[in-house]
Amino acid sequence: MDEEIRLTKTDETEQAQPEKQPGESSILNQDFNSYQNFNSQFAPPPLKKKSTKKFVATAGLCVMSAIIGALSAVAVVPAIYPTNALSTTAAAKTTSSIAQVSTSSASASSQTNFPVAEIAKEVGPAVVGVSNFQSTQNVFGGSSNLQEAGSGSGFIIDAQKGYIVTNNHVIDGAQKITVSLSDGRNLDAKVVGADPRTDLAVLQISDTKNLTAVKLGDSSKLQVGEPVVAIGNPGGAEFARSVTTGVVSATDRTLDIQGESSFNLIQTDAAINPGNSGGPLVDYQGNVIGINSAKYAESGFEGMGFSIPISDALPTIQQLIKTGVATHPALLVTTNDQYLSYAQDNNLPLGAYISAVTPNGPADKAGIVKGDVITKINDAQVQSSSDLVHDLYQYSVGSKISITFVRDGKTKTVQATLGEISSNQ
């Protein structure tokens, strides 16, 4: 029997997840020489004896060449093996204490790369473990004491204020959250803001003594094949700050899971395991360029992890820090993907089936009604609810878009102005 293909988020959550109606999502309201040896018969004839003067000249030339070569090697070695290179990297100035690095447009080969050991030494102290505690029901129907229901990772982005970035699914449902630091401290953390629609969350710890923050890179300039390092807590505290290496296998990947469907994800073959969720994906300049979030978990497949690009995540992170909530563009409709199997069985167009429309919302004002199937946003094809969310999140609140949909077998196009939905709606 074929095994089911599963895309899993990589926290170690063990609690039962709330059941949803199959295929239903509220958007919007939710809104990967050899050389041969010559025989002796082909050996060159014996060399004739050279004159003594020519020998002396030749020997002198060899000595000079050796000296020049040695001096060149001395000059080149420091460039190939930089001393304390990470600590001398200049960070771009920012208006906050979040360190962000502007990556030059030059190719990766023209930039200084740092050994993995140096990257681990520099970034590792900023990586934390995140534990999610919840009460559970005992066999007699009562509530038990708080127990660790799951764990994941995170990283410090502001050492002065104690801000930590992680995945929303790592802390979802938590009644208590603790953070484990590289120096052995275990501290309580509070949720500054969380956004299920992008699977992002920001935590804060009050004890900011001796904290180290990461530097943020520019994920928009990543190239396929570029080496990367993943750091996190796979398996929990026992394997805290484990370091794995790999490359950027692909960019612009999409996954049909809540939160991650909002982004064009980074695919990497650096090992990402349960407990890695929320940890950083780091480039060879020591900058965080992704947030490790999911892996392809089908049996027989290895090396298919996915990260949220940091440049795409940063606007939401900044909103969460500033206001505690994040806002997103929305049509304010509800969709149902049960339509997809029906459409395939009956040779109907694939798309996002509209099961409800919010009165006076953007879709309602544009003339979209229940039963319509959205097939395009501007020129982008829409074949599911996830496609619709992903495409809408490429725009801003107030953007004007063109919506192509099918109604009663006929294709129509209308214009709409995107509304707003927040993470707490």
Residue 328: active-site member: no
**Choosing from 169, 219, 386, 391, which is the catalytic residue?**
169
The label of the residue with tokens 């990297």 reads 89
Residue 277: active-site member: yes
Buried-state track 283-313, b at ≥16 Cβ within 10 A, e below 16: bbbbbbbbbbbbbbebeeeeebbbbbbbbbb
Residue 307: active-site member: no
Instruction: Return the biggest CA–CA distance within the chain.
Output: 105
**Choosing from 277, 293, 386, 423, which is the catalytic residue?**
277
Pair of tokens at residue 272: 């990402």
**Choosing from 172, 199, 218, 337, which is the catalytic residue?**
199
Measuring CA to CA, how many Å separate 299 from each of 14, 249, 401?
A: 20, 19, 41
The label of the residue with tokens 């799951």 reads 150
Buried-state track 401-412, b at ≥16 Cβ within 10 A, e below 16: bebbbbeeeeee
The label of the residue with tokens 């209308």 reads 414
Strand partners, 288: 216, 282
Residue 175: other Cβ atoms inside 10 A: 10
Strand partners, 191: 203
- Chain-centre distance of CA 46, in angstroms? 66
Residues labelled catalytic: 169, 199, 277
